[in-house]
A = this chain, B = another copy of it.
Amino acid sequence: MVLAFSFRLHRRDGEARLGEIETPHGRVRTPAFMPIGTQATVKGMYAEQVRATGADIVLANTYHLMLRPGPERIAALGGLHRFMNWPHPILTDSGGFQVMSLAALRKIGDGGVTFRSHLDGTMYELAPERAIEIQLLLGADIVMQLDECVKLPATEGELARGVRLSLAWAERCRRAFEHAPPGRALFGIVQGGDDEKLRQESARALVAMGFDGYAVGGLAVGEPQDVMLRIVETTAPLLPEDRPRYLMGVGTPDDLVEAVGRGMDMFDCVLPTRNGRHGLAFTRFGPINLKNARHADDPRPLDADSMCPAARDYSRAYLHHLVKANEMLGAMLLTAVNLHYYQDLMAGMRAAIQEGTFAAFREKTREGWERGDIPAL
């Protein structure tokens, strides 16, 4: 039986929302954090481990997978879920953001984007229709429209052009998606940079078209947190109550709590994985840099009370050694620590919304971060 996509909003606490998404590959509890599996793997993690951190869904990158190994190949192998041994929900981005940040010689036209692969120089075209086709070949449960993500700072003219182009592509993606297998979902993406009026225009037009969910894109590109939150505050109320809301590329633990408090449901970010590979651990008591020499003789684990084996069963001295020695196990353990912490944070928020204590949870969580790490004696 193929489960249809659906979203149920269970409860609200202020603006914060507790919900549940159903997909053909299972359930996603929201607010949800999606670990990033760029090249069909969450770097340094076994799929079972990702699941064990509490993740319901992962994100995979269309740009990377269209270049290597190729969507037709993955489809012939039974789809991305089987390819990467992750039988749970998958969201794929549309490739647009990575084309802007990674590819060379990119050229944007009304028809789509042309670019040169950063791997081998091959020229590719990515039209809205092809972006949908690729994501359906991969077998994504949640498919994102192709959009143009304009870099900040930008002029109003540049931002307006991005909004208009993204809306035109949204409509073309919607039509292309009509051939999708049952149960899959297509999300539209609100653009408009830091311009509230353009954001409103973009959101209203997308809602008028009608999507299974709505993303807020073009943030987490270097702007201050207050700008990001202001745009979320402007945009969220314009999105339908009964559809999931996805804040793309966000963020720090604090960003997540603040954005959930403003009505967002889904998130993805490279921070827990990328920073883990570079020696930084996210914990209840704020970030801890394991490269720091103060850990060299510290027999304590990162968090003795954590349910995460990597945070509980390894000394800081050992983690410090692994990071300094550039050992894979250091990256593996700290990625696990961080993904576990992010999922714990989401689970904490979900429980608090359920109990109507989100404000108190936010306060208590902040207190932990502000207390900070206590050095060894």
Contacts and interface: CB of A to CB of B under 8 A. Distances in A.
Interface of A: 39-41, 43-46, 68-69, 73, 76-78, 83-85, 296-297, 299, 313-315, 317-318, 320-322, 324-325, 327-329, 331-332
Given A76-B297, A297-B76, A317 B41 contact: no
23 contacts: A39-B321, A39-B322, A39-B325, A40-B321, A41-B322, A41-B327, A41-B329, A43-B328, A43-B329, A45-B329, A46-B329, A46-B332, A68-B324, A69-B321, A69-B324, A73-B296, A73-B317, A77-B315, A78-B299, A83-B315, A83-B317, A83-B321, A328-B331
Nearest to A314: B85
Contacts of A83: 315, 317-318, 321
Contacts of A297: 73, 76-77
For chain A, what secondary structure do more than half of its interface residues adopt (helix, strand, loop), or is it mixed?
Answer: loop
Contacts of A317: 69, 73, 77, 83
A40 B318 contact: yes
A59 to B, nearest CB: 16
Contacts of A327: 39, 41, 43
Given A41-B328, A44-B328, A328-B332, 8 more contacts: A41-B327, A68-B324, A69-B296, A73-B296, A73-B297, A83-B317, A83-B318, A84-B318
Contacts of A41: 322, 327-329
A296 B45 CA distance: 22
Contacts of A68: 321, 324-325
A321 B40 CA distance: 9
A183 B110 CA distance: 77
A207 to B, nearest CB: 38
A39, A45, A76: most-surrounded residue (chain B CB, <10 A):
A39
A68 B317 CA distance: 12
Contacts of A329: 41, 43-46
A348 to B, nearest CB: 27
A323 to B, nearest CB: 11
